[in-house]
Amino acid sequence: MLFILFIIQSINAQKCETTDQFYNPLSSKCETCPTGTGLINNQCICDSTINGVPINQVCAAETNLCISDTGSWQSSACQCSGHAISLPTNICQQCPNNLINVQGKCSCSGSTTSSDNYCVTQYLNVFQDDIAQIIGPKAYDGCIIYNDMVSCQQLANLFILKRSTLSTERDFNYLYNAVLTSQNKKNMPKIIHEVSTTVTSVTLIEDTPLQMQVNFKEDRTSSLNKLQFYVIEYYIDGSVSELKPLQNQFQLCSSSYGDTDLASHFGVSYRNDCNLDFTKYLENNYKTVFYSIWIKDIDGSFIQIPIKIAGYDGNGSGEAETDYGYANTKFLWRFFMVDNLKSPSEIIYAQTIRLISYLSTKEEDKTFLPYFYVIYSDPITITNIQTEKYYPVFYRHNYYQAQTSFYTVATALLIVAHVLIIIIWFIRIYIWSKRNPSYTGQNDWCMYLTIKSFYVLLDTWAEVIFYYLAIFTGYLFCFYKFQQTIYILMPPLSDYENNYRPFEILFFMMFACRLISMFNLILRQADVQVFFVDWEKSEVLRPRELADKLDNNVLKMVESAQTKQSAWRMILIANEFNELQVYRIVSVEWTLLFVGFFLEGLKWINLDQEQPNLKLERIIPKNYVIQYFLCAFLYMTIGLAQIIIQKLFDIWFPILVEDFVDLCAISNVSILILDDVLHGYYIHGENPVGYAEGSSEHLANCLHYEALGKGKKRGFIQESSQQHQDDVDLQTFELFLPMRFRDAYEKVYNQELKQKTDNAQYQNYNEIRILRQGVPDGLDMALVQTIKDTFSFYLKDVLTQVRTNFSKCVRDKLPVQRFFDYPPADLEENYFKDQSMPVFFRDPDQSFKTMFFCGHEYFFLITDTMIFNFWMILTDNTYLSLMLTYLISAGIFNFRQWVGERNLADQSKIDSRFLI
């Protein structure tokens, strides 16, 4: 290709006689073209290259041609300077850099050496590989010496390619200073953000004026919901594209238009990750492209976006890849996606690209200048690619908010929560000590107090922390999901260790404490002492009409049994009691079914996405804090809904506990339950008619007479007062026992029964069991019945005294006693220890159900919520979490049933084979 160096003559009508001459209008005559040029179209044209180097990249034409005043060539008048050489074409070629004219040749001197008619520094390892060796020296000289824009673009691209692969800091500084020099020249492209005392990385991000305000809903005249990014593409040959909108140029993973549109929304933590096959980038038809990024402001102006590259800090050394901040950062203005210029030997690609945007701390609803954070992969050789084709690629959008106040509030609330924990723990232990005075004679009372304090502390800590996490995550969910103007952003997942690890640790500690507390509660429930009081006095009524159908032996057995009471009433009550131990108002199965329906069926699980709206399409990553609140709120709401519905329909559909009290009255069986040394419950089950054994007709008549108001009332107290008109129907009481009563129970019944059971358990080698049997083989049941009858007579006598002196013994709990579960002051009085009559507190709420699951409904509902959240965090799978939660709940159910059944069999001496 020929390049026009200089126009010798304007085109005119004059022509010369010979073809090797041209008409010079200044001299008005024909002249011969200088040596080395040719005549074309009445113009003298020289070759466009000198030694293979384009002249326009060596020196400007007008400074290298010597022309006299008449316009003719005069070689003798052309004198080249000491730093230029005279070429045969009468052109003075400027020697590059520090070369001088040495006998008509440009020669390198000092610390430079010649490279393709150019002088470069002797440490040529800066430009010693592939494409850099080809274009590096020319790009360097063309940009630094001759101010050529194309060469400067090439030099800038080379710097981005080699920003972290230079072998020494000296090499880095050489190329760094060259680029810095080039960009300080007029109209040269910027590639490095030059830091000074007044212009730092912080001032670049925080003080670059952005006029737009941002919001979460829609674009407005003064605020934007979408950030509009634009890019300019640069190529290795120095060519540049026009400014164009950013779409998916930075996403190596496949993406749709909807993904790209979502990624542009402010505040949406967009993510597009995959494992990519890089074999296609080894092909020659893929061109390495460099990008500069711009953001369009609300006024239509464009502001360039800085680039932070991991491994580059402006000194040739590296920085942590997890350092997303902008303080003390050396920004660049350009980066590349895939470098295959060494292909097919190796490639380097942008493994992680993050858009980082901080909310402004200086103006409301504004954002600081965003920037991109790029992490490049290590060089991947063709051997590696052929062995393992797929490599990870990450593309993220992260939005940050100054978290100082957030963490300050969170820490302050956590401190308040722990102060509350200490106060509640102290109150609970104080009340326990009042309910269990030291004179109770428990083995090592101080040790027992210490153990009790430990379990109470675990239970209190787990309970308060649950509410703390629920309230705090609820606050984040509501204000994040429902905000229109920018109020709060979720702490970034990118800094998981600082932002979410504390939440995770707090949750797992809470969950562990809750499990310990739950098993402690179950074991305490399974260790209560239960005594059945049979009020039956009548003989067994047998239908005489069946006598003729029985043989003589059976008839004799029937006749002999008529003077004894039937055991089936007691077995019936024991069975119902056993079933009530695991009875719950909240159905785990139905709760899990509805949770699954809402989370997966209605796609509510997608509300855990880190985007400030209620969209249900799964596109962006989830946030575990949002997920925690969503699952906890949904599980608790469904559980509480069941409790509320049960309360509303309790009149028509009473819970089984209320039916059980009625069954005790019909069966003529009362129950004494002792859950502590001096504390217990009493269920009065005396039949108003006086006896319960009989035919179906007899039972029907009993209920009919009672409905008509005939006979006695079911209540323990048969007299009502104006203040307590319901006493005649009240059957449930909370007891506080004097020590004399407790000693009688232990000596007359519990110790005697335990001794007889142990003797039967170990009477011979074959009867030894790993687990103690409630009713071992060989136990003398007649003796057991005698022991039970003895204590039963004593208990009935005490109950008769209480009934006679009910105005003194039967009381109402004060509001403060009911709220704190505080015992009566009598427990601390000396006279109370020696009296035989307990203190009866009216208990219409049937507090004895605290011995069952249903008495701790909220406790187990919260526990189930924790279990479900635990599996959601671990498995990140709703269906698997539902199944595992059900299995764990079923395991807890079976464990409670097993230990409770064994305890009931041991206490009542009813063989566990009768407990269905």
Q: What is the pLDDT of residues 270-316, one digit of tens each?
A: 888 899 888 877 776 778 899 999 999 888 889 999 999 887 765 44
The model's confidence at residue 380, banded by pLDDT at 50, 70 and 90, is: confident
pLDDT, tens only, 735-786: 998 888 888 888 878 777 777 776 666 554 444 444 455 666 667 777 888 8
Percent of the chain with pLDDT over 70: 72
How many domains are contained in the chain? 5
Lowest mean pLDDT among 47-51, 244-248, 622-626, 852-856: 47-51
Over the range 844-877, which residues count as b (16 or more CB within 10 Å of their CB) and which as e?
eebbbbbbbbbbbbebbbbbbbbbbbbbbbeeee
Looking at residue 72, what is its pLDDT?
34
417 phi and psi angles, rounded to 5 deg: -60, -40
Residue of higher predicted confidence among 484 and 17: 484
DSSP for 466-490 reads HHHHHHHHHHHHHHHHS-SB----P
Per DSSP, which regions of 225-323 are E strands?
229-235, 244-245, 271-277, 289-296, 302-305, 307-309
Q: Flag whether 299 is in a domain.
A: yes
Q: Flag whether 188 is in a domain.
A: no
CB contact at 8 A, 426 and 383: no
Q: Flag whether 99 is in a domain.
A: no
Q: Flag whether 7 is in a domain.
A: no
Same domain, residue pair 824 and 748: yes
Distance, CA of 84 to CA of 102 (rounded, Å):
10
Same domain, residue pair 271 and 338: yes
Distance, CA of 900 to CA of 439 (rounded, Å):
29
Looking at residue 231, what is its pLDDT?
94
Last residue of a domain, one of 400, 415, 433: 400
Q: Flag whether 110 is in a domain.
A: no
Looking at residue 764, what is its pLDDT?
45
Same domain, residue pair 205 and 307: yes
Q: Flag whether 139 is in a domain.
A: yes
Last residue of a domain, one of 52, 77, 93: 93
Same domain, residue pair 847 and 715: yes
Handedness of CA 658, 659, 660, 666 (dihedral sign): positive
Distance, CA of 21 to CA of 155 (rounded, Å):
43
Same domain, residue pair 753 and 816: yes
Distance, CA of 600 to CA of 884 (rounded, Å):
16
Over the range 326-343, which residues count as b (16 or more CB within 10 Å of their CB) and which as e?
beebbbbbbbbbbbbbbb
Same domain, residue pair 413 and 471: yes
Which residue, 133, 132, 134, is CA-closest to 156? 132
Q: By residue range, what is the domain housing residue 173?
A: 123-181
Q: Flag whether 707 is in a domain.
A: yes
User: Where do we find the tokens 């001032």?
Assistant: 203
Decide: helix, strand or coil at residue 703: helix
Distance, CA of 412 to CA of 406 (rounded, Å):
10
In sequence order, what are the residues at sequence separation of 6 or more whose Cβ sits closer than 8 angstroms to the Cβ of residue 680? 529, 672, 673, 674, 734, 735, 737
Same domain, residue pair 511 and 545: no
Average pLDDT score, the chain: 77
**Residue 251 Ramachandran class (φ > 0 left, ψ -120 to 50 alpha, else beta):** beta
Last residue of a domain, one of 181, 214, 249: 181
Looking at residue 849, what is its pLDDT?
92
pLDDT, tens only, 450-463: 999 999 999 999 99
Q: What tokens does 477 get?
A: 């969910």
pLDDT, tens only, 303-332: 999 999 887 765 444 444 456 678 778 888
Same domain, residue pair 291 and 343: yes
Which residue, 121, 152, 130, 128, is CA-closest to 139? 152
Distance, CA of 605 to CA of 617 (rounded, Å):
10
Q: Flag whether 705 is in a domain.
A: yes
Q: Report the chain's terminal Cα–Cα distance, integer Å.
A: 103
Distance, CA of 529 to CA of 521 (rounded, Å):
15
Same domain, residue pair 348 and 383: yes
Distance, CA of 915 to CA of 907 (rounded, Å):
13
Same domain, residue pair 792 and 887: no
849 vs 163, 412, 534, 733, 853, CA distance in Å? 73, 38, 21, 12, 8
- Residue 653 CA to its chain's centroid (Å): 41
Same domain, residue pair 215 and 322: yes
pLDDT, tens only, 343-363: 567 888 999 999 998 888 888
pLDDT, tens only, 149-195: 787 888 888 888 776 565 555 556 666 777 777 776 656 677 777 76
Same domain, residue pair 153 and 286: no
CB contact at 8 A, 535 and 670: yes
Half-sphere exposure of 355 (CA within 13 A, CB side): 28
841 phi and psi angles, rounded to 5 deg: -100, 130
Task: Supply the pTM of this predicted model.
Answer: 0.75
